[in-house]
A and B are shown apart, each in its own frame.
Chain A
Amino acid sequence: MLRSCRLSSKFTSPISSLLRRNYANVASSPVVVSKSKAGITVVSIEDNAPASSVAVVVKAGSRAESTDNVGVAHFLKNFAFRSTEGKTAFRITREAELLGGILSANLTRESLIISGEFLREDLPHFLEVLSDVVFKTKYEPYEFKDVKRSVNFERGAAEAIPEVITSDTVHAVAFRHGLGNSLFANSTTKVTSSEQVKAFSNKVYTAPNITIVGTSVNHNELVSLTDKLFEKVSHTVPSTPIASKYFGGESRIAAPGSSHFVIGFEGAAAGAPEYAILQVLRAYLDGETHTRWGDGVTPLAQLSNKLKDVKISSFNAGYSDAGLFGIHISGNPTSICATARAVSELLKHNLHHISKEDFQCAIAKAKYYTAAAYDTRASKTELIGGQILHSGRIIPVSEAIVEFNHITIEDVKNTAEKLLKSKPTTVALGDINALPHADVL
Protein backbone atom coordinates (compact mmCIF):
# COMPACT_ATOMS: atom_id res chain seq x y z
CA MET A 1 0.00 0.00 0.00
CA LEU A 2 1.25 3.48 -0.75
CA ARG A 3 2.27 5.48 2.26
CA SER A 4 -0.09 8.33 1.37
CA CYS A 5 -3.02 5.89 1.22
CA ARG A 6 -2.19 4.53 4.60
CA LEU A 7 -2.00 8.02 6.00
CA SER A 8 -5.33 9.03 4.51
CA SER A 9 -7.05 5.93 5.86
CA LYS A 10 -6.06 7.09 9.30
CA PHE A 11 -7.94 10.32 8.82
CA THR A 12 -11.15 8.58 7.83
CA SER A 13 -11.52 7.09 11.30
CA PRO A 14 -13.72 9.25 13.52
CA ILE A 15 -11.57 11.90 15.12
CA SER A 16 -13.68 12.17 18.24
CA SER A 17 -12.78 8.63 19.33
CA LEU A 18 -9.06 9.41 18.90
CA LEU A 19 -9.42 12.47 21.06
CA ARG A 20 -11.28 10.63 23.76
CA ARG A 21 -8.53 8.05 23.93
CA ASN A 22 -5.88 10.69 24.26
CA TYR A 23 -7.67 12.47 27.08
CA ALA A 24 -8.24 9.20 28.89
CA ASN A 25 -4.50 8.52 28.77
CA VAL A 26 -3.64 11.88 30.16
CA ALA A 27 -6.22 11.69 32.91
CA SER A 28 -5.28 8.21 34.16
CA SER A 29 -2.66 8.26 36.92
CA PRO A 30 0.63 7.74 35.15
CA VAL A 31 2.68 6.79 38.22
CA VAL A 32 2.25 3.33 39.73
CA VAL A 33 4.06 2.22 42.88
CA SER A 34 4.26 -1.28 44.29
CA LYS A 35 6.56 -3.52 46.32
CA SER A 36 8.39 -6.51 44.90
CA LYS A 37 8.35 -9.80 46.80
CA ALA A 38 11.79 -9.05 48.19
CA GLY A 39 10.60 -5.70 49.52
CA ILE A 40 12.05 -3.37 46.91
CA THR A 41 9.86 -0.45 45.89
CA VAL A 42 9.10 -0.47 42.19
CA VAL A 43 7.83 2.69 40.53
CA SER A 44 6.83 3.02 36.95
CA ILE A 45 5.91 6.19 35.16
CA GLU A 46 3.89 5.83 31.99
CA ASP A 47 4.61 8.83 29.81
CA ASN A 48 4.00 7.23 26.42
CA ALA A 49 7.51 8.09 25.28
CA PRO A 50 8.98 6.07 22.44
CA ALA A 51 12.07 5.14 24.45
CA SER A 52 12.00 3.57 27.89
CA SER A 53 14.36 3.64 30.82
CA VAL A 54 14.84 1.78 34.04
CA ALA A 55 17.02 2.88 36.91
CA VAL A 56 18.14 1.51 40.22
CA VAL A 57 18.11 4.45 42.60
CA VAL A 58 20.19 3.66 45.70
CA LYS A 59 20.52 5.73 48.86
CA ALA A 60 24.29 5.79 48.38
CA GLY A 61 25.20 9.33 47.48
CA SER A 62 28.28 11.04 48.81
CA ARG A 63 26.52 11.73 52.14
CA ALA A 64 26.45 7.97 52.86
CA GLU A 65 30.23 7.95 53.13
CA SER A 66 31.86 7.92 56.55
CA THR A 67 35.09 9.67 57.54
CA ASP A 68 37.21 6.58 56.90
CA ASN A 69 35.99 6.06 53.37
CA VAL A 70 35.27 9.53 51.99
CA GLY A 71 35.10 9.33 48.20
CA VAL A 72 34.00 5.70 48.11
CA ALA A 73 30.64 6.55 46.52
CA HIS A 74 32.47 8.02 43.56
CA PHE A 75 34.47 4.80 43.23
CA LEU A 76 31.30 2.71 43.50
CA LYS A 77 29.73 4.77 40.74
CA ASN A 78 32.68 4.07 38.48
CA PHE A 79 32.59 0.35 39.30
CA ALA A 80 29.13 0.18 37.70
CA PHE A 81 29.16 -1.90 34.50
CA ARG A 82 32.61 -3.35 35.24
CA SER A 83 32.99 -7.11 34.97
CA THR A 84 30.41 -9.18 36.80
CA GLU A 85 30.33 -12.88 37.57
CA GLY A 86 28.36 -13.67 34.45
CA LYS A 87 29.58 -11.09 31.99
CA THR A 88 32.73 -9.15 31.30
CA ALA A 89 32.66 -5.36 31.15
CA PHE A 90 33.27 -5.68 27.41
CA ARG A 91 30.24 -7.91 26.95
CA ILE A 92 27.94 -5.63 28.96
CA THR A 93 28.96 -2.64 26.85
CA ARG A 94 28.83 -4.44 23.53
CA GLU A 95 25.42 -5.96 24.16
CA ALA A 96 24.01 -2.60 25.16
CA GLU A 97 25.47 -1.10 22.00
CA LEU A 98 24.00 -3.82 19.82
CA LEU A 99 20.58 -3.29 21.35
CA GLY A 100 20.94 0.44 20.87
CA GLY A 101 20.72 1.24 24.57
CA ILE A 102 22.58 3.59 26.87
CA LEU A 103 23.98 2.60 30.24
CA SER A 104 24.91 5.27 32.72
CA ALA A 105 25.68 5.82 36.37
CA ASN A 106 25.09 9.11 38.10
CA LEU A 107 26.03 10.24 41.58
CA THR A 108 24.25 12.93 43.56
CA ARG A 109 24.73 13.96 47.17
CA GLU A 110 21.96 11.64 48.27
CA SER A 111 21.63 8.89 45.70
CA LEU A 112 23.48 6.73 43.25
CA ILE A 113 21.47 6.21 40.08
CA ILE A 114 22.41 3.33 37.81
CA SER A 115 20.28 3.43 34.72
CA GLY A 116 19.67 2.05 31.29
CA GLU A 117 17.76 3.63 28.45
CA PHE A 118 16.45 1.41 25.67
CA LEU A 119 13.61 0.45 23.38
CA ARG A 120 10.52 -0.80 25.15
CA GLU A 121 10.94 -4.50 24.30
CA ASP A 122 14.46 -4.73 25.75
CA LEU A 123 13.42 -4.24 29.38
CA PRO A 124 14.36 -7.81 30.53
CA HIS A 125 17.90 -7.47 29.21
CA PHE A 126 18.59 -4.10 30.76
CA LEU A 127 17.03 -4.88 34.13
CA GLU A 128 19.19 -7.99 34.25
CA VAL A 129 22.29 -5.90 33.55
CA LEU A 130 21.33 -3.57 36.41
CA SER A 131 20.73 -6.46 38.82
CA ASP A 132 24.11 -7.92 37.82
CA VAL A 133 25.74 -4.59 38.57
CA VAL A 134 24.13 -4.56 42.00
CA PHE A 135 24.72 -8.18 43.01
CA LYS A 136 27.43 -9.67 40.85
CA THR A 137 30.07 -7.02 40.26
CA LYS A 138 33.41 -8.69 41.00
CA TYR A 139 35.32 -5.62 42.23
CA GLU A 140 38.55 -7.17 40.92
CA PRO A 141 41.69 -5.61 42.38
CA TYR A 142 43.16 -5.09 38.91
CA GLU A 143 40.06 -3.18 37.84
CA PHE A 144 40.57 -0.81 40.73
CA LYS A 145 43.51 0.73 38.86
CA ASP A 146 41.27 1.49 35.88
CA VAL A 147 38.49 2.78 38.08
CA LYS A 148 40.91 5.01 39.94
CA ARG A 149 42.09 6.45 36.65
CA SER A 150 38.54 7.33 35.60
CA VAL A 151 37.79 8.70 39.07
CA ASN A 152 40.85 10.95 38.82
CA PHE A 153 39.90 12.00 35.33
CA GLU A 154 36.39 12.96 36.41
CA ARG A 155 37.74 14.88 39.36
CA GLY A 156 40.18 16.73 37.11
CA ALA A 157 37.44 17.58 34.64
CA ALA A 158 35.18 18.79 37.47
CA GLU A 159 37.89 20.91 39.05
CA ALA A 160 38.29 22.77 35.80
CA ILE A 161 34.75 24.10 36.18
CA PRO A 162 34.58 26.95 38.74
CA GLU A 163 30.84 26.43 39.31
CA VAL A 164 31.49 22.86 40.43
CA ILE A 165 34.26 23.95 42.80
CA THR A 166 32.12 26.66 44.36
CA SER A 167 29.13 24.36 44.71
CA ASP A 168 31.25 21.64 46.33
CA THR A 169 32.95 24.14 48.63
CA VAL A 170 29.74 25.87 49.65
CA HIS A 171 28.32 22.48 50.69
CA ALA A 172 31.53 21.56 52.52
CA VAL A 173 31.52 24.85 54.45
CA ALA A 174 27.81 24.73 55.18
CA PHE A 175 27.47 21.11 56.29
CA ARG A 176 31.08 19.94 56.90
CA HIS A 177 30.22 16.20 56.90
CA GLY A 178 27.44 14.23 55.27
CA LEU A 179 25.96 16.58 52.72
CA GLY A 180 29.26 18.45 52.83
CA ASN A 181 31.14 15.48 51.36
CA SER A 182 32.41 16.18 47.90
CA LEU A 183 30.86 14.35 44.97
CA PHE A 184 34.36 13.60 43.75
CA ALA A 185 36.97 11.46 45.47
CA ASN A 186 39.88 13.82 46.06
CA SER A 187 43.56 13.00 46.27
CA THR A 188 43.43 12.53 50.05
CA THR A 189 40.84 9.77 49.83
CA LYS A 190 41.47 6.77 52.05
CA VAL A 191 39.96 4.42 49.48
CA THR A 192 42.92 2.43 48.20
CA SER A 193 41.53 -0.99 47.33
CA SER A 194 38.54 -2.59 45.68
CA GLU A 195 37.83 -4.35 48.99
CA GLN A 196 36.71 -1.05 50.53
CA VAL A 197 34.40 -0.39 47.59
CA LYS A 198 32.97 -3.89 47.89
CA ALA A 199 32.35 -3.46 51.62
CA PHE A 200 30.55 -0.17 50.94
CA SER A 201 28.47 -1.78 48.19
CA ASN A 202 27.38 -4.60 50.54
CA LYS A 203 26.33 -1.99 53.05
CA VAL A 204 24.24 0.12 50.68
CA TYR A 205 22.69 -2.40 48.29
CA THR A 206 19.90 -3.53 50.61
CA ALA A 207 16.16 -3.76 50.00
CA PRO A 208 15.08 -0.68 51.99
CA ASN A 209 17.81 1.32 50.25
CA ILE A 210 16.84 0.52 46.67
CA THR A 211 14.06 1.84 44.48
CA ILE A 212 13.57 0.76 40.91
CA VAL A 213 12.15 3.44 38.68
CA GLY A 214 11.00 2.67 35.16
CA THR A 215 9.66 5.11 32.62
CA SER A 216 7.48 4.00 29.71
CA VAL A 217 7.56 0.37 30.77
CA ASN A 218 4.81 -2.07 31.57
CA HIS A 219 4.43 -1.98 35.34
CA ASN A 220 3.44 -5.62 35.78
CA GLU A 221 6.36 -6.77 33.68
CA LEU A 222 8.72 -4.57 35.66
CA VAL A 223 7.44 -5.95 38.97
CA SER A 224 7.62 -9.60 37.91
CA LEU A 225 11.13 -9.13 36.54
CA THR A 226 12.17 -7.42 39.76
CA ASP A 227 10.71 -10.32 41.79
CA LYS A 228 12.93 -12.68 39.84
CA LEU A 229 16.13 -10.67 39.46
CA PHE A 230 16.26 -8.97 42.84
CA GLU A 231 15.04 -11.83 45.04
CA LYS A 232 18.43 -12.35 46.73
CA VAL A 233 18.68 -8.77 47.97
CA SER A 234 19.78 -8.40 51.57
CA HIS A 235 17.22 -7.06 54.02
CA THR A 236 19.54 -5.35 56.43
CA VAL A 237 18.02 -2.08 57.50
CA PRO A 238 20.70 0.51 56.82
CA SER A 239 21.91 2.65 59.67
CA THR A 240 20.27 6.04 59.45
CA PRO A 241 22.73 8.69 58.35
CA ILE A 242 23.66 11.36 60.85
CA ALA A 243 21.20 14.24 60.61
CA SER A 244 22.56 17.15 58.63
CA LYS A 245 23.56 20.18 60.65
CA TYR A 246 24.09 23.59 59.14
CA PHE A 247 27.29 25.34 60.23
CA GLY A 248 28.10 28.16 57.82
CA GLY A 249 31.41 29.97 57.46
CA GLU A 250 33.76 31.35 54.91
CA SER A 251 36.13 29.88 52.38
CA ARG A 252 38.48 31.77 50.08
CA ILE A 253 40.30 30.00 47.29
CA ALA A 254 42.85 31.77 45.11
CA ALA A 255 42.60 30.68 41.49
CA PRO A 256 43.48 32.14 38.13
CA GLY A 257 40.73 32.98 35.65
CA SER A 258 37.31 34.38 36.32
CA SER A 259 36.16 35.25 39.84
CA HIS A 260 33.21 33.74 41.63
CA PHE A 261 31.41 34.58 44.82
CA VAL A 262 28.70 32.59 46.53
CA ILE A 263 26.55 33.65 49.47
CA GLY A 264 24.53 30.82 50.98
CA PHE A 265 22.08 30.47 53.86
CA GLU A 266 20.40 27.60 55.60
CA GLY A 267 17.50 26.60 53.39
CA ALA A 268 14.77 24.05 53.87
CA ALA A 269 14.44 20.35 53.18
CA ALA A 270 12.77 19.38 49.93
CA GLY A 271 9.10 18.75 50.54
CA ALA A 272 8.90 21.07 53.56
CA PRO A 273 6.40 23.95 53.13
CA GLU A 274 9.27 26.42 53.54
CA TYR A 275 11.01 24.90 50.56
CA ALA A 276 8.22 26.07 48.25
CA ILE A 277 8.41 29.55 49.75
CA LEU A 278 12.14 29.59 49.13
CA GLN A 279 11.49 28.55 45.55
CA VAL A 280 9.43 31.70 45.15
CA LEU A 281 12.13 33.80 46.78
CA ARG A 282 14.67 32.18 44.50
CA ALA A 283 12.57 33.02 41.46
CA TYR A 284 12.25 36.60 42.70
CA LEU A 285 15.98 36.97 43.25
CA ASP A 286 16.99 35.10 40.13
CA GLY A 287 19.52 37.12 38.16
CA GLU A 288 19.16 35.33 34.87
CA THR A 289 17.35 36.82 31.94
CA HIS A 290 15.05 34.27 30.38
CA THR A 291 14.09 36.12 27.24
CA ARG A 292 16.62 37.02 24.64
CA TRP A 293 16.38 40.78 24.35
CA GLY A 294 14.71 41.55 27.64
CA ASP A 295 16.34 43.36 30.55
CA GLY A 296 14.83 40.89 32.97
CA VAL A 297 12.09 41.68 35.44
CA THR A 298 13.76 40.72 38.69
CA PRO A 299 15.92 43.36 40.40
CA LEU A 300 19.07 41.23 40.17
CA ALA A 301 18.57 40.49 36.49
CA GLN A 302 18.26 44.23 35.87
CA LEU A 303 21.37 44.86 37.92
CA SER A 304 23.43 42.28 36.04
CA ASN A 305 22.21 43.67 32.74
CA LYS A 306 23.22 47.16 33.81
CA LEU A 307 26.70 46.13 34.97
CA LYS A 308 27.22 43.93 31.90
CA ASP A 309 30.26 42.10 33.34
CA VAL A 310 28.64 39.95 36.03
CA LYS A 311 26.36 36.96 35.93
CA ILE A 312 24.04 36.31 38.85
CA SER A 313 22.13 33.13 39.52
CA SER A 314 20.34 31.88 42.57
CA PHE A 315 19.98 28.33 43.82
CA ASN A 316 17.77 26.51 46.27
CA ALA A 317 19.06 23.02 46.90
CA GLY A 318 16.67 20.87 48.92
CA TYR A 319 17.78 17.58 50.44
CA SER A 320 15.93 15.05 52.56
CA ASP A 321 16.65 16.77 55.85
CA ALA A 322 18.33 20.09 55.06
CA GLY A 323 18.65 22.67 52.36
CA LEU A 324 20.92 25.35 51.06
CA PHE A 325 19.73 28.62 49.57
CA GLY A 326 22.02 31.11 47.96
CA ILE A 327 23.24 33.33 45.22
CA HIS A 328 26.15 32.78 42.89
CA ILE A 329 27.86 35.82 41.32
CA SER A 330 30.61 35.51 38.74
CA GLY A 331 32.55 37.91 36.57
CA ASN A 332 34.71 40.97 37.22
CA PRO A 333 35.84 41.18 40.92
CA THR A 334 34.91 44.88 41.35
CA SER A 335 31.47 44.32 39.90
CA ILE A 336 31.10 41.24 42.09
CA CYS A 337 31.73 43.49 45.13
CA ALA A 338 29.07 45.92 44.03
CA THR A 339 26.63 43.14 43.23
CA ALA A 340 27.21 41.30 46.49
CA ARG A 341 26.52 44.54 48.37
CA ALA A 342 23.35 45.09 46.35
CA VAL A 343 22.23 41.52 47.05
CA SER A 344 22.69 41.88 50.79
CA GLU A 345 20.89 45.28 50.71
CA LEU A 346 18.05 43.66 48.83
CA LEU A 347 17.79 40.77 51.28
CA LYS A 348 18.06 42.95 54.37
CA HIS A 349 15.83 45.92 53.54
CA ASN A 350 14.11 45.84 50.21
CA LEU A 351 12.11 42.64 50.43
CA HIS A 352 9.31 44.65 52.05
CA HIS A 353 8.77 46.47 48.80
CA ILE A 354 7.95 43.47 46.64
CA SER A 355 5.19 44.63 44.35
CA LYS A 356 2.20 42.45 43.70
CA GLU A 357 3.13 42.06 40.05
CA ASP A 358 6.69 40.99 40.86
CA PHE A 359 5.37 38.53 43.39
CA GLN A 360 2.96 36.98 40.89
CA CYS A 361 5.76 36.78 38.39
CA ALA A 362 7.98 34.99 40.92
CA ILE A 363 5.20 32.52 41.72
CA ALA A 364 4.79 31.75 38.02
CA LYS A 365 8.51 31.22 37.62
CA ALA A 366 8.70 29.00 40.68
CA LYS A 367 5.86 26.91 39.29
CA TYR A 368 7.70 26.58 36.01
CA TYR A 369 10.96 25.48 37.71
CA THR A 370 9.05 22.90 39.70
CA ALA A 371 7.24 21.55 36.67
CA ALA A 372 10.42 21.50 34.60
CA ALA A 373 12.05 19.19 37.14
CA TYR A 374 9.53 16.55 36.09
CA ASP A 375 10.41 17.06 32.49
CA THR A 376 13.17 14.77 31.32
CA ARG A 377 13.59 11.05 31.86
CA ALA A 378 16.74 11.50 33.93
CA SER A 379 15.42 14.27 36.17
CA LYS A 380 12.12 12.46 36.70
CA THR A 381 13.92 9.29 37.71
CA GLU A 382 16.16 11.15 40.14
CA LEU A 383 13.32 13.18 41.63
CA ILE A 384 10.80 10.38 42.06
CA GLY A 385 13.39 7.82 43.18
CA GLY A 386 14.59 10.27 45.82
CA GLN A 387 11.05 11.04 47.00
CA ILE A 388 10.31 7.34 47.46
CA LEU A 389 13.58 6.65 49.27
CA HIS A 390 13.41 9.59 51.64
CA SER A 391 9.74 10.21 52.29
CA GLY A 392 8.14 7.06 50.91
CA ARG A 393 5.64 9.18 49.00
CA ILE A 394 5.54 10.61 45.51
CA ILE A 395 4.50 14.22 45.16
CA PRO A 396 2.71 14.50 41.82
CA VAL A 397 3.56 17.54 39.72
CA SER A 398 0.02 18.91 40.00
CA GLU A 399 0.19 18.85 43.80
CA ALA A 400 3.65 20.44 43.81
CA ILE A 401 2.35 23.29 41.68
CA VAL A 402 -0.90 23.86 43.56
CA GLU A 403 1.14 24.38 46.72
CA PHE A 404 2.37 27.69 45.33
CA ASN A 405 -1.15 29.12 45.21
CA HIS A 406 -1.30 29.38 49.01
CA ILE A 407 1.91 31.33 49.39
CA THR A 408 1.54 34.98 50.35
CA ILE A 409 3.96 37.91 50.26
CA GLU A 410 4.08 37.75 54.07
CA ASP A 411 5.34 34.15 53.92
CA VAL A 412 8.18 35.16 51.65
CA LYS A 413 9.15 38.08 53.87
CA ASN A 414 9.11 35.93 57.02
CA THR A 415 11.16 33.19 55.39
CA ALA A 416 13.68 35.70 54.13
CA GLU A 417 14.05 37.09 57.65
CA LYS A 418 14.61 33.60 59.00
CA LEU A 419 17.12 32.97 56.24
CA LEU A 420 19.17 35.97 57.30
CA LYS A 421 19.28 34.74 60.90
CA SER A 422 21.39 31.72 59.88
CA LYS A 423 25.13 32.23 59.70
CA PRO A 424 25.94 32.92 56.06
CA THR A 425 28.19 30.61 54.07
CA THR A 426 30.43 32.44 51.64
CA VAL A 427 32.84 31.12 49.09
CA ALA A 428 35.19 33.35 47.14
CA LEU A 429 37.05 31.79 44.25
CA GLY A 430 39.46 33.63 41.98
CA ASP A 431 41.05 37.00 42.74
CA ILE A 432 40.62 36.80 46.51
CA ASN A 433 42.29 40.16 47.16
CA ALA A 434 39.53 41.98 45.34
CA LEU A 435 36.60 39.78 46.30
CA PRO A 436 34.49 40.90 49.28
CA HIS A 437 34.56 39.36 52.77
CA ALA A 438 31.43 38.03 54.42
CA ASP A 439 31.51 40.49 57.34
CA VAL A 440 31.69 43.62 55.17
CA LEU A 441 28.46 42.81 53.41
Chain B
Amino acid sequence: MSYPTLYNTVKNSRFLYGLLKPVASWYTNAAGYRQLGMRYDDIIAEESTTVQKALERIPQNEYDQRTLRLRNAYQLSTQNIILPRDKWIKPEEDIRYLFPYVEQVAVEEAEREAFEAAKVIRK
Protein backbone atom coordinates (compact mmCIF):
# COMPACT_ATOMS: atom_id res chain seq x y z
CA MET B 1 0.00 0.00 0.00
CA SER B 2 2.96 2.32 0.12
CA TYR B 3 3.55 4.63 -2.79
CA PRO B 4 5.64 7.76 -3.27
CA THR B 5 3.84 10.72 -1.73
CA LEU B 6 4.36 14.46 -1.42
CA TYR B 7 1.70 14.66 1.30
CA ASN B 8 4.04 15.75 4.07
CA THR B 9 5.89 18.26 1.86
CA VAL B 10 2.61 19.91 0.91
CA LYS B 11 1.26 19.82 4.44
CA ASN B 12 4.36 21.47 5.88
CA SER B 13 4.57 24.24 3.32
CA ARG B 14 2.05 27.03 3.86
CA PHE B 15 2.34 28.17 0.27
CA LEU B 16 1.75 24.77 -1.30
CA TYR B 17 -1.01 23.95 1.18
CA GLY B 18 -2.83 27.21 0.46
CA LEU B 19 -2.46 26.62 -3.26
CA LEU B 20 -3.50 22.98 -3.39
CA LYS B 21 -6.09 22.70 -0.60
CA PRO B 22 -8.93 24.35 -2.58
CA VAL B 23 -8.14 22.16 -5.56
CA ALA B 24 -8.10 19.08 -3.35
CA SER B 25 -11.41 19.99 -1.72
CA TRP B 26 -13.01 20.60 -5.09
CA TYR B 27 -11.69 17.27 -6.34
CA THR B 28 -12.99 15.34 -3.32
CA ASN B 29 -16.42 16.88 -3.67
CA ALA B 30 -16.41 16.21 -7.40
CA ALA B 31 -15.58 12.55 -6.72
CA GLY B 32 -19.15 12.32 -5.52
CA TYR B 33 -18.87 9.70 -2.78
CA ARG B 34 -19.90 12.17 -0.10
CA GLN B 35 -23.09 12.87 -1.98
CA LEU B 36 -23.88 9.15 -1.66
CA GLY B 37 -23.29 9.26 2.10
CA MET B 38 -19.91 7.52 2.05
CA ARG B 39 -16.56 8.24 3.61
CA TYR B 40 -13.29 8.09 1.70
CA ASP B 41 -12.27 4.86 3.43
CA ASP B 42 -15.45 3.19 2.14
CA ILE B 43 -14.14 3.38 -1.41
CA ILE B 44 -10.65 1.96 -0.76
CA ALA B 45 -10.47 -1.09 -3.02
CA GLU B 46 -11.05 -3.95 -0.63
CA GLU B 47 -10.08 -6.72 -3.03
CA SER B 48 -6.68 -7.25 -1.46
CA THR B 49 -5.53 -9.38 1.45
CA THR B 50 -4.09 -6.30 3.14
CA VAL B 51 -7.39 -4.43 3.23
CA GLN B 52 -9.30 -7.59 4.09
CA LYS B 53 -7.07 -8.09 7.10
CA ALA B 54 -7.45 -4.43 8.07
CA LEU B 55 -11.23 -4.81 7.86
CA GLU B 56 -11.01 -7.64 10.38
CA ARG B 57 -9.29 -5.31 12.81
CA ILE B 58 -11.65 -2.34 12.88
CA PRO B 59 -14.10 -2.24 15.77
CA GLN B 60 -17.38 -4.04 15.17
CA ASN B 61 -19.54 -0.89 15.27
CA GLU B 62 -17.33 0.80 12.64
CA TYR B 63 -17.68 -2.25 10.47
CA ASP B 64 -21.46 -2.30 10.80
CA GLN B 65 -21.75 1.41 9.98
CA ARG B 66 -19.54 0.89 6.95
CA THR B 67 -21.79 -1.90 5.69
CA LEU B 68 -24.81 0.32 6.17
CA ARG B 69 -23.24 3.23 4.26
CA LEU B 70 -22.23 0.93 1.41
CA ARG B 71 -25.74 -0.51 1.14
CA ASN B 72 -27.36 2.92 1.17
CA ALA B 73 -24.93 4.16 -1.45
CA TYR B 74 -25.63 1.14 -3.62
CA GLN B 75 -29.36 1.74 -3.32
CA LEU B 76 -28.96 5.41 -4.30
CA SER B 77 -26.68 4.48 -7.16
CA THR B 78 -29.15 1.99 -8.64
CA GLN B 79 -31.90 4.62 -8.37
CA ASN B 80 -29.59 7.16 -10.06
CA ILE B 81 -30.15 9.74 -7.35
CA ILE B 82 -28.02 11.46 -4.73
CA LEU B 83 -28.85 12.42 -1.17
CA PRO B 84 -30.41 15.82 -0.38
CA ARG B 85 -27.68 18.40 0.29
CA ASP B 86 -28.12 18.42 4.10
CA LYS B 87 -27.45 14.69 4.27
CA TRP B 88 -24.15 14.80 2.40
CA ILE B 89 -21.12 13.71 4.41
CA LYS B 90 -19.41 16.88 5.63
CA PRO B 91 -15.61 17.10 5.31
CA GLU B 92 -15.23 16.85 9.11
CA GLU B 93 -17.31 13.66 9.14
CA ASP B 94 -15.07 12.07 6.52
CA ILE B 95 -12.94 10.22 9.07
CA ARG B 96 -10.15 7.82 8.09
CA TYR B 97 -11.40 4.95 10.20
CA LEU B 98 -9.78 2.21 8.12
CA PHE B 99 -6.57 3.64 6.72
CA PRO B 100 -4.48 3.46 9.93
CA TYR B 101 -5.25 -0.26 10.10
CA VAL B 102 -4.36 -0.72 6.42
CA GLU B 103 -1.03 0.96 7.06
CA GLN B 104 -0.44 -1.19 10.14
CA VAL B 105 -1.13 -4.39 8.19
CA ALA B 106 1.10 -3.20 5.35
CA VAL B 107 3.96 -2.59 7.78
CA GLU B 108 3.47 -6.06 9.24
CA GLU B 109 3.48 -7.63 5.77
CA ALA B 110 6.67 -5.78 4.86
CA GLU B 111 8.23 -6.97 8.12
CA ARG B 112 7.28 -10.55 7.37
CA GLU B 113 8.77 -10.24 3.87
CA ALA B 114 11.95 -8.85 5.35
CA PHE B 115 12.22 -11.71 7.83
CA GLU B 116 11.61 -14.30 5.12
CA ALA B 117 14.53 -12.86 3.17
CA ALA B 118 16.76 -12.28 6.19
CA LYS B 119 20.15 -13.82 6.64
CA VAL B 120 21.22 -14.59 10.18
CA ILE B 121 24.63 -13.37 11.22
CA ARG B 122 25.68 -14.27 14.74
CA LYS B 123 27.94 -11.85 16.51
Contacts and interface: CB of A to CB of B under 8 A. Distances in A.
Interface of A: 88, 90-91, 94, 98, 140-142
The 10 tightest CB contacts between A and B, nearest first, are A142-B57, A94-B115, A98-B120, A88-B108, A141-B59, A90-B112, A91-B111, A88-B111, A90-B108, A90-B111
B92 interface: no
B64 interface: no
Interface in B34-60: 56-59
Nearest to B107: A88
Interface of B: 56-59, 108, 111-112, 115, 118, 120
A415 to B, nearest CB: 56
B60 to A, nearest CB: 9
Q: Is the interface of B mostly helix, strand, loop or mixed?
A: helix
Q: Taking each of A91, A94, A140, A142, which has the highest tally of chain B beta carbons within 10 Å of its own beta carbon?
A: A142
Q: Is the interface of A mostly helix, strand, loop or mixed?
A: helix
A88 B53 CA distance: 15
A215 to B, nearest CB: 23
Contacts of A98: 118, 120
Contacts of B59: 141
Given A90-B108, A142-B57, A142-B58, 4 more contacts: A88-B108, A90-B115, A91-B111, A91-B115
Nearest to B118: A98
Contacts of B57: 140, 142
Contacts of B112: 90
Q: Taking each of B57, B59, B118, which has the highest tally of chain A beta carbons within 10 Å of its own beta carbon?
A: B57
Contacts of B111: 88, 90-91
B56 A142 contact: yes
A88 B57 CA distance: 15
Contacts of A88: 108, 111
Contacts of B120: 98
B66 to A, nearest CB: 15
A141 B115 CA distance: 26
A40 B56 CA distance: 39
Nearest to A97: B115
Contacts of A94: 115
B76 to A, nearest CB: 31
B51 to A, nearest CB: 14
Nearest to B109: A90
A91 B59 CA distance: 24
A141 B60 CA distance: 10
B100 to A, nearest CB: 12
B110 to A, nearest CB: 11
16 contacts: A88-B108, A88-B111, A90-B108, A90-B111, A90-B112, A90-B115, A91-B111, A91-B115, A94-B115, A98-B118, A98-B120, A140-B57, A141-B59, A142-B56, A142-B57, A142-B58
A141 B56 CA distance: 11
A142 B54 CA distance: 10
A263 B59 CA distance: 48
Nearest to B54: A142
Contacts of A141: 59
